[in-house]
Amino acid sequence: MNAFPNETSEYRAARNALLESEAELRRHMESVAAELRALPPGGEIPEDYEFNCVGGSMPVRISELFRGGDTLMIYQFMFPRHVHDRRPRPGDGIFSALPHEEGPCPSCTALIDSWEGMMPHFEGLGGNLVIVASAPIVRLAAFVGEKGWKKLRFLSAARNGFMQAYGGIDAKGQPVPMMTVLKRWPDGKIRLQWASELFHAPSEPGQDPRHLGTVEPLWTLFDLTPRGRPDADEQFDYHCCGRSNPV
């Protein structure tokens, strides 16, 4: 690669060494992705779970969520949030008055914000993603409406055991932000393909779980900056955006 304006030989040598590391990381990421794709069939779902759907008048079963393909991705939205999450509530709207433990998770909300914009591309290329929360359908629909989310499908699992079975609710009854990928096999059976179990694996000091690290554009964008990821969590409101953060 040609040198950029005014760069030093020291910079170029260090950058070339980093480039080798980046290429190795790319190879390893593709190797891990190939291992994921090559997993043998996982366990069959124990039941055809029935959900309530935001914007729908009738319940929908998990088998009905497959849109012509054989894959269904389910993100388990922490709504309500973890009982120990004391970050501020939304600054306005009906959810600004809810007790902390009954409101949605700011981190999940930020992630869903980023996915909302890319859904036409994802679905246009054959992707199939739904968002599931344990909040009652009326409350979930109200938050979706306040956020203006229109391109994602939201489901309430308040009346079934899907989230308990697939890691979205832990043994203490607290939410976990799991991603679950299901595959419908030629025999018609729906089986687990992959779940973001890295969330529960030990992490190195200073690292968060990064169980969905490659699909979190907010944080991977910061990875390219000189300071890296800020030592802060996502919020509903920011000073830079015309609002002050509520207590």
Handedness of CA 139, 144, 147, 148 (dihedral sign): negative
Q: What is the pLDDT along the chain (247 residues), one digit of tens a residue?
A: 678 999 999 999 999 999 999 999 999 999 999 999 999 999 999 999 999 999 999 999 999 999 889 999 999 999 999 999 999 999 999 999 999 899 999 999 999 999 999 999 999 999 999 999 999 999 999 999 999 999 999 999 999 999 999 999 999 999 999 999 999 999 999 999 999 999 999 888 877 888 887 899 999 999 999 999 998 999 999 888 754 444 4
- Integer Cα distance of 189 and 19 in angstroms: 44
Predicted pLDDT of residue 245: 45
For 222, phi then psi, to 5°, come to: -65, -30
| pTM, entire model | 0.92
DSSP character at residue 2: P
Domains and CATH numbers, the chain: 50-241 (3.40.30.10)
Bridge partners for 180 per DSSP: 74, 195
| Residue 69 in tokens | 């393909």
Burial label, 20 (beta-carbon count in 10 A; 0-12, 13-18, 19+): exposed
Contact 122, 73 (CB under 8 A): no
Predicted pLDDT of residue 244: 46
Q: Residue ranges of the alpha helices (H) in the chain? A: 9-37, 106-124, 137-147, 162-165, 217-222
Helices and strands counted in the chain (H then E): 5, 7
